[in-house]
Structure 1
Amino acid sequence: MNHLKQIAARLPEYGVDAMLLTSEPGEFYAVGFHGEGVVVVTAGECFYFTDSRYIEAANHLITGASISMTDRSRNYRAMVQEVVDRCGVKRMGFEEEYLSVASYQIWKEGVTPELVPAQKLVNGLRAAKDQEEIELMVKAQEITDRAFREILTFIQPGMTEQEIAAKLQYDMLRFGAMRMSFDPIVASGPNGSKPHAIPGPRKIQRGEFVTMDFGCVYGGYCSDMTRTVAIGEPTEEMKKVYHIVLEAQLAGIAAARAGVPGKSIDAAARKVIEEAGYGEYFGHGYGHSVGIEIHESPNANTRDESLMPVGAAVSAEPGIYLPGKFGVRIEDVTILTENGCIDITQSPKELIIL
């Protein structure tokens, strides 16, 4: 899988003769290969440069690009300059969101074309997943759902947050994941009020919520999900908050479709929580795009006015966090269509009491 033709087709729109891709996500999106290399896309030809550690794999896996290896006499900049001279490149787009100031200066001094910020060229393409990308994300989510089913039979009072996080990671790997899409979050009891709590030695107790936010990478694409479960009988307040969050998530999913701004999807979910009197306890956005990276654009938050494209993969994750008491978050991943969205997360969302 690669997206070289799609990138090449958008070069005129951004007024550049070539696109330089130096980031790991940009490299993978362009040529479908996880290595350490540089991609140059022109209107007529595409090039991939890497070193001796990856050249054999690159030759085996990459199609649609001329592949060359660096050596002691030719570094990446020299190889890119050869392409510049051969193809007459005057203006070259680059990924300004990934290139450090120091690296930018090195590239600016090492090649002759004008370097033009063109992150939006790639971001716009990555925002709309094609069918092959969606299929990989569905598979990643299936692995994550399966790990959730396993964890429900594993959790016991007295077990630590770290033990649960370790089990989630082990199961996702043994079910076929390449790696985690992020370090799992496992937060029990009062730790649940911290949306990005780090799993620690705290032991799970009866009468508490446990929030688990986790995901994996399959075929280069991420999954992401959160479930909050009760260990023993929850209090009435815990049940109330859980169902408010669930209602908010369902409202956001109902509002999610291509052609609407992310802030409108966020507003639909946020309204439920605010009307229930918990608005001040929902501090983050409703969701973010997911793909090669766990956080991509566009986002479904209070500020993002970008119109969602068909094929956007957007998380649906409202939450309520009560400091010193508990927190609840429920998260699925949805694929946006012209008429609505498809929820690719299959785990149940009703309150589970273990």
Structure 2
Amino acid sequence: MVEKEILSNRLNTFREELKKLGQDGALITKRENYMYLSGFSGTSANLVITSKKAYLLTDFRYVEQSAVQAPLFEIVEHKPDIKDTILEILDSEGIKNLGFEDKSLTYSEYKSFSCKFRDIEMEGIGSVVESLRSIKDQYEIETITKAVEIADGAFTHVLGIIKPGITELDVAAELEYKMKKLGASGASFETIVASGLRSSMPHGVASEKKLEIGDTITMDFGALYNHYCSDITRTVFLGQPDKKMVDIYNIVLEAQLSSVRGAIQGKTGREVDKIGRDIIYGKGFEGKFGHGLGHGLGLEIHENPRLSPSGDKILKNNMAVTVEPGIYVEGLGGVRIEDTIIIRDDNPLVLTRSQKDLIIL
């Protein structure tokens, strides 16, 4: 459970942002955001936050849980139509200007709220909470570190069961089973296992294809631990690989290591992406690295900042990001190598410990 002091810091920082926007209060509806601000992890909640008070509205199923997990919030069991309860709170607090999450609230939900709140002006707050979430506090860093450790352990385990004749689905199942045995609540996204010619598909989710001698095997997976995600990709070879694939592996590894070293505070995501992209393109593989270099992660598997050609956000200390360059050649195969790192001045903290030197099984 998140400590009260950490939750208090998050709530106070959010209130400061709300004050800058000139809003009396805010309605928080996105699950990851209400989890972050309140500590409550259930699937049904809305938050109403003012300069002085904080309310968590939920249904009968979660009243007891929310009271334990969200100690800084007044817990309210809402009426059948939650909007009626929200309106009562807004009226009692004298809220006339209400911020809402326009990046996540659907248009139909917005219309429903605005029709109910006729005398209240609703204004979008954009990605305010997501921006706060992009800088991880100590609790989050420790939790993500554990999620990474679990994924590392699953990778070590699966190396011992990979052999000709088993399917990609078998490999994915072993990875997910081991992550749960090590403490994960599940996978943080659908596990990718792409072997042989299928490895040229960056998001080739596991299939019934059987592994064969000579296969390139790319595994991209992650653990969900205390609601936080990890993300790792490793590419290994079953039997002696084609020389072209060895060359590709070494280029991707060079790009990955150089990009990790270059992921420092003050650079934009675009600048870090360029480090790896220039290496790959400079080796003759322009057009064969079609995705971004990496992304932030935390309560969601894809968060800000983005390390990509369009990534304009500046990296700051304690951001958690992935670094995952790849080369994909249709008809031959593909390689991707990915670590999760924490931005730390000019010396990034690499959380992923799994071996990156070429592995032949």
User: How high is the TM-score relative to the length of structure 2?
Assistant: 0.95
1:280-320 deviation per Cα after TM superposition (whole angstroms, max 9, x unaligned): 10000000100100000110100111112221111000000
Match runs of 1:197-276 below 5 Å: 197-276=204-283
SS of 2:300's equivalent in the other structure is: coil
The match for 1:88 is 94
Q: Alignment partner for residue 66 of structure 2, among 58, 62, 69?
A: 58
Map Cα deviations across residues 129-155 of structure 1 (whole Å, 9 max, x no partner). Answer: 111100000000010000001000011
The secondary structure found in structure 1 opposite 2:72 is coil
2:56 counterpart residue number: 48
Deviation, 1:70, is 1.7
Contact 1:169 1:180 in 2 (8 A): yes
Aligned: 1:284 with 2:291? yes
Gaps in structure 1 of 5+ consecutive residues: none
Is the CA contact 1:7–1:41 (under 8 Å) kept in the aligned structure 2?
no
Structure 1 partner of 2:106? 100
Find the residue that maps to 2:346 and give its secondary structure.
coil
Matches within 5 A, 1:113-124: 113-124=120-131
Q: What is the aligned partner in structure 2 of residue 348 from structure 1?
A: 355
Given that 1:26 and 1:122 are in contact with CA atoms closer than 8 Å, whether structure 2 keeps it comes out as: yes
CA distance in 1, matches of 2:315, 2:49: 26
1:199 positional shift: 0.9
The corresponding residue for 1:335 is 342
Output the amino acid matched with 2:177. Answer: Y
The runs of 5 or more residues in structure 2 that have no matched partner are none
Asked if the contact 1:14/1:121 (under 8 Å) is kept, the reply is no
Task: Name the CA distance, whole Å, in 1 between partners of 2:78 and 2:258.
Answer: 53
* Structure 2 counterpart of 1:186, one-letter code: V
CA deviations on 1:134-182 (whole Å, 9 max, x unpaired) are 0000000010000001000011111100111111111111110112110
Give the aligned partner of residue 166 of structure 2. 159
| Percent of matched pairs sharing the same residue | 38
For the 8 Å contact 1:33–1:62, the answer to whether it is kept is yes
Q: Match of 2:82, as an amino acid?
A: Y
1:86 deviates by: 2.2
Q: Which moved more, 1:83-92 or 1:342-351?
A: 83-92
8 A contact 2:33–2:130 mirrored in 1:
no
Quote the residue 1:142 is aligned against.
149
Task: State the Cα distance separating 1:119 from its structure 2 match.
Answer: 2.7
1:87 CA displacement: 2.0
Aligned with 2:12 (options 5, 8, 17): 5
In structure 2, the partner of 1:193 is 200
How many angstroms apart in 2 are the aligned matches of 1:222 and 1:271?
A: 29
Q: Note if 1:79 corresponds to 2:70.
A: no
CA distance in 2, matches of 1:97, 1:162: 36
**Aligned-partner Cα distance in 1 for 2:317–2:74:** 32
Instruction: Please state whether the residue corresponding to 1:54 is helix, strand or coil.
Output: helix
Corresponding letter in the other structure for 2:14: I
Aligned residues between the structures: 352
Cα distance in structure 2, aligned partners of 1:336 and 1:115: 36
Give the drift of 1:12: 1.4
Kindly provide the amino acid, as one letter, of the partner of residue 320 in structure 1. I
What SS class does the counterpart of residue 140 from structure 1 fall into? helix
CA separation in 2, counterparts of 1:160 and 1:186? Answer: 9
SS of equivalent to 1:141: helix
Query: Would you identify which runs of 4 or more consecutive aligned residues in structure 1 move more than 4 Å?
Result: none
Q: Distance in 1 between matches of 2:157 and 2:61?
A: 37
Farther-moved stretch of structure 1 (82-91 vs 207-216): 82-91
- Residue 199 of structure 2 aligns to a residue whose secondary structure is helix
Give, in angstroms, the shift of residue 14 of structure 1.
2.0
Query: What SS does structure 2 have at the residue aligned with 1:15?
Result: coil
Greater shift in the superposed pair: 152-161 or 13-22 = 13-22
- The answer for the alignment partner of 2:47 in structure 1 is 39
Matched letter for residue 189 of structure 1: G
Greater Cα offset, 335-344 or 161-170:
335-344
Render the CA deviation track for 1:227-251: whole Å, top value 9, x for unaligned.
Answer: 0000011121111000100100111
